[in-house]
Structure 1
């Protein structure tokens, strides 16, 4: 009886569905990747055993390599998305062009990331494109900038819509002379407010990823801050996938 309760529990079904998706597995591996990065630098900085830190770094390297395998050929998704977004002339121009920039940036980034994966597997010569990972970080940063602009534009449009809806609240009198407001308008305001909140969280994730990408391209300050930023953005990504949001990155 107890076993049946566990087996048929909705939460277990959701966990299985999450783990069965490539996006779900990728986000968990990403969390492991950046968590181990944070832990390894923390151990070294605080004088802990180098052997322990190296073990943690090996776990990070395995997680990173497995993520590259999961994302192989994923640039095709972004190219298709960029084409569909560009062809949609009805959307706001800033939203449309920033989304196209985001998808194209991710397409190039993931393509270069696959080249790096081939080099790690020994399929491609390690002497070719020695700066491939650094170049990949540059296009990741471009993609994140496009995503951040897209987030800011969506927030702005939703704020304008909320302000407009509040002005249009219709106050009517019922038979008893009491004032009521349009429920439909209130629902729309609540929906837009939720969209503002969720988009703001996405913006935070993009800003954290932007720091990681910029660090990989220009700053090269390989400290625990990069790992911590990755942990937070990974947790946001896990939350989004759990809630059924499609994350194309």
Structure 2
């Protein structure tokens, strides 16, 4: 019995899960996945007429949203640092400007998000109209950040496709020695990995953009659709973080 229990508790997958959960980003992505599933499921139950269970899932969604705001209290400064580092780095000018714009927009979004959290826990007291304006401003910054990221993704994808084509073996390379061929293959592999990451981020952005767009009133998607979109992007984010933490 003890052996069976140890095999379960000490299983590598359990250890990897604990390692993933020990990171703030890992916990945030997990909470986000549950939050958006709850958003979808509450909508589903409400449409079935099950108001009591829908209220329970809505409460879970709201409390997880508040908890995630607490986890993100230090994030605005991280985005400012990222903007500064990007401005000091070398790279294509258009991509650099768009990346800086994204980071600054997320700084604004998460700064207003902190005010929303403080009001939600009654640390400060905003009147309903002010709270509504703060929430809408937060969504506008969030939307701007995603739009910057989407445009950056299109430009970056085109650049990487062009570079990958140039790096393909062919006549343009001619006769090269072993060292140069190895260098070409290494660079090509790096470009292919960057293409995968760019496609993943573009997928996340194209789904997430509907969340703030609905928040500012530009679209009118129902709660179920937004819940599914958020759940999908949360799972994609969890996969990326799992790979970053566990290396697989």
Q: TM-score, normalised by structure 2?
A: 0.87
1:35 aligned residue (33, 37, 46): 37
Cα pair distance change 1:93/1:134, threshold 3 Å: same
Match of 1:214 in 2: 213
Question: Could you tell me how far apart the structure 1 residues matched to 2:232 and 2:86 are?
Answer: 29
Q: What is the aligned residue count?
A: 237
Give unmatched runs, 5+ long, in structure 1. 174-180
**What is the deviation of 1:160?**
1.2
2:49 is the counterpart of 1:85:
no
Question: Could you tell me how far apart the structure 2 residues matched to 1:63 and 1:119 are?
Answer: 16
**What is the deviation of 1:91?**
1.1
Question: Could you tell me how far apart the structure 2 residues matched to 1:73 and 1:149 are?
Answer: 27
Question: Could you tell me how far apart the structure 1 residues matched to 2:197 and 2:40 are?
Answer: 27
2:69 is the counterpart of 1:68:
yes
Deviations 1:96-155 (A, max 9, x none): 111101100110000101100111111111214431111111100000011112222221
What SS class does the counterpart of residue 131 from structure 1 fall into?
A: helix
What SS class does the counterpart of residue 244 from structure 2 fall into?
A: coil
Asked whether the 8 Å contact 1:169–1:182 carries over to 2, the reply is no
Match of 1:102 in 2: 102
**What is the deviation of 1:185?**
2.7
Cα pair distance change 1:2/1:185, threshold 3 Å: farther
Question: Could you tell me how far apart the structure 2 residues matched to 1:94 and 1:185 are?
Answer: 25
Match of 1:138 in 2: 140
What SS class does the counterpart of residue 132 from structure 2 fall into?
A: coil
What are the within-5 Å matches in structure 2 for residues 144-183 of structure 1?
Answer: 144-166=146-168, 167=170, 168-170=172-174, 182-183=181-182
Which 10-residue stretch deviates more, 163-172 or 51-60? 163-172
Question: Could you tell me how far apart the structure 2 residues matched to 1:187 and 1:111 are?
Answer: 41
What SS class does the counterpart of residue 196 from structure 1 fall into?
A: helix
Which 10-residue stretch deviates more, 52-61 or 7-16? 7-16
Cα pair distance change 1:2/1:94, threshold 3 Å: same
**What is the deviation of 1:183?**
4.7
Cα pair distance change 1:187/1:80, threshold 3 Å: closer
Asked whether the 8 Å contact 1:170–1:182 carries over to 2, the reply is no
**What is the deviation of 1:172?**
7.1
Deviations 1:4-51 (A, max 9, x none): 544544333221111000000000110011100011111222x23111
Give unmatched runs, 5+ long, in structure 2. none
What are the within-5 Å matches in structure 2 for residues 228-243 of structure 1?
Answer: 228-243=228-243
**What is the deviation of 1:74?**
1.1
